[in-house]
Every structure is written in structure tokens, then in C-alpha cells.
């Protein structure tokens, strides 16, 4: 069985977050959705649990930061092409995301990012399967 990843993110308004990510094309597992949380499906092995801040707080004694003003992590997802990177970021911006930086093109890798409604930083990237150019 492949290892699965469940990324847990605190959100201010669960319904607004669901609406935002629905506009980006994601779906949610109703088995793990209630008034406190939802399970967003990224792939067969990657899931994002969006948790109300009050519910998220039950899992930690640490202070929950404001991701609009402090960095907590950078979530990076791959895309199939440069166009797919741009399409996802455009969808995010249309849905209310903030675009913190212009796209970066390294030739073999292309990336662009957005901050979601709660300030979580998402990187969308495409990489040439051949990898970086060989030096030497």
C-alpha cells in the first residue's frame, strides 16, 4: 500500500474554504466532512484536512499562527504543464487568492504561487521529466 499524506490546515471559515477549493476543481470526501472539518482530495494518496481553528487547536497546545503574516509552510503540488500551472493560479486568483510573486521559469522547472483565503502558501510547479540540464 502506498503511503498517504494528510495535511492538516486550520481555516477561519470552513464553508468559504470549501467554496474556494471547489472553484479550483477539488472535491471532498463526505465521510470525513462535518461542521468542524472536511477532507479535500488532491489525489489517490494526498489529502488536505481543512479544520476549523477551534477543532485544529484540539490537536496541539501550540499557538495557531496567522498565515497572512507569518510563514508556516509552503505546500507544493506538481502540474502536468506550464499551462496547467498558470490555469490553477488563475483559478485561485479568481476565487479570491492573493498572488504574492510572479511566476518563475528556470527552463526545466516552472512555478507560480498563491496564498489561499487563510494565507496558506501554495506553490504549483511543473518540472521537465529530464530534470535540470547536466553541468560539465
1-62 with 69-136: one CATH topology? yes
Closest CA to 102 of 113, 92, 117, 90: 113
User: pLDDT tens for residues 4-24?
Assistant: 999 999 999 999 999 999 999
* Domain map (residue ranges) of the chain: 1-62, 69-136
In this prediction, the residues of the chain whose per-residue pLDDT falls under 70 are 136
Q: Does domain 1-62 have CATH number 3.10.180.10?
A: yes
pTM equals 0.90
Q: Which fold has domain 69-136?
A: 2,3-Dihydroxybiphenyl 1,2-Dioxygenase; domain 1 (3.10.180)
Amino acid at each position: 500500500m502506498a503511503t498517504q499524506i494528510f495535511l492538516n490546515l486550520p481555516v477561519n471559515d470552513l464553508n468559504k474554504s470549501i467554496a474556494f477549493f471547489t472553484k479550483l476543481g477539488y472535491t471532498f470526501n463526505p465521510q470525513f466532512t462535518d461542521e468542524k472539518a472536511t477532507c479535500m482530495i488532491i489525489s489517490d494518496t494526498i489529502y488536505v484536512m481543512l479544520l476549523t481553528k477551534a477543532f485544529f487547536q484540539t490537536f496541539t497546545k501550540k499557538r495557531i499562527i496567522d498565515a497572512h503574516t507569518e510563514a508556516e509552510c509552503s505546500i507544493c503540488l506538481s502540474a502536468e504543464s506550464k499551462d496547467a500551472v498558470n490555469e490553477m493560479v488563475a483559478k485561485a486568483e479568481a476565487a479570491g487568492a492573493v498572488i504574492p510573486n510572479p511566476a518563475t521559469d528556470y527552463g526545466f522547472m516552472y512555478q507560480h504561487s498563491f496564498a489561499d483565503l487563510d494565507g496558506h502558501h501554495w506553490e504549483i510547479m511543473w518540472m521537465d521529466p529530464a530534470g535540470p540540464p547536466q553541468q560539465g
